[in-house]
Amino acid sequence: MNTSPTKHSTRNATLLIAAVLLAWSGFAFLNRADPTAFQRKKQPEHLSQTLHATAIDLPKGPPTVFIKNHPDTGAPITASCTTCHATRTPNRANTAKDLDAFHQGLKFNHANLSCYSCHNDQDYQTLKLADTKTIPFQEVMTLCAQCHNPQATAYKHGAHGGMNGHWDLSRGPRYKNSCITCHDPHAPQYPTLRPKFKPIDRFLDPPNQTHAKKKGTRHE
């Protein structure tokens, strides 16, 4: 049989292309199967923590109590917890309603928690976790997280709690609010907000000139 030379070279070329494709796909497959292939890529610079360090607005230390008129002297005082509690026997039965001497006005509406779910009756300058571990007030978010893990996790990756400050760090720092910047630990429900429309700016939007023009586009 006499096959023409052009037919031969076409078949050879096809075989060659097929071989190259096979080798390439095999190589690509092996490369994909390599589990370290991902990790070998360097983390992009813009995701690094040091470049985008974010401070959290946490309490500086244990809170103090301001009393407008002291029940005995009538004078205003600011006192730390231990000033009074070092000599008082903790009363586990107390609820916010009973606190009529020194913690008047403390609103409490946080499920059916007791004061000592969070406060430490051995040392009022600290907080207490459920496993009785003592933590400073600065670590209040650990306390919230033990009961509100979904929100704490969402907070960590940015879906709860938002971000404040500057995107461009040369203009100022960037920071996040802590759980208790937004939620009062004693009555944590976030207040309902009602959106309001922006008032018409009478200087930038003189009514005589723009009112007629805008009338058709305004939704009222």
- Residues lying near ligand HEC in the complex (CB under 6 A) are found at 59, 63, 65, 67, 79, 81, 83-85, 90-91, 94-96, 99-103, 106, 108, 110-111, 113, 115, 117-119, 124, 137, 140-141, 143-144, 146-148, 151-152, 155, 160-162, 177, 179-183, 185-186, 188-190
Distance in Å from the first CA to the final CA of the chain: 89
Residue (21 or 130) nearer to ligand HEC, CB: 130
Shortest distance in whole angstroms from residue 71 CB to ligand HEC: 9
Beta pairing partners, 165: 174
Biggest alpha carbon–alpha carbon distance for the chain = 123
Q: Give yes or no for a contact between 58 and 178, defined as CB atoms under 8 angstroms apart.
A: yes
Shortest distance in whole angstroms from residue 22 CB to ligand HEC: 54
Shortest distance in whole angstroms from residue 128 CB to ligand HEC: 9
- Position of tokens 């009514």? 207
151 in helix, strand or coil? Answer: helix
Shortest distance in whole angstroms from residue 47 CB to ligand HEC: 22
Residue (9 or 122) nearer to ligand HEC, CB: 122
Tokens linked to 27: 């190589």
Residue (14 or 94) nearer to ligand HEC, CB: 94
Query: 89: alpha, beta or left, given left = phi > 0 and alpha = psi -120 to 50?
Result: beta
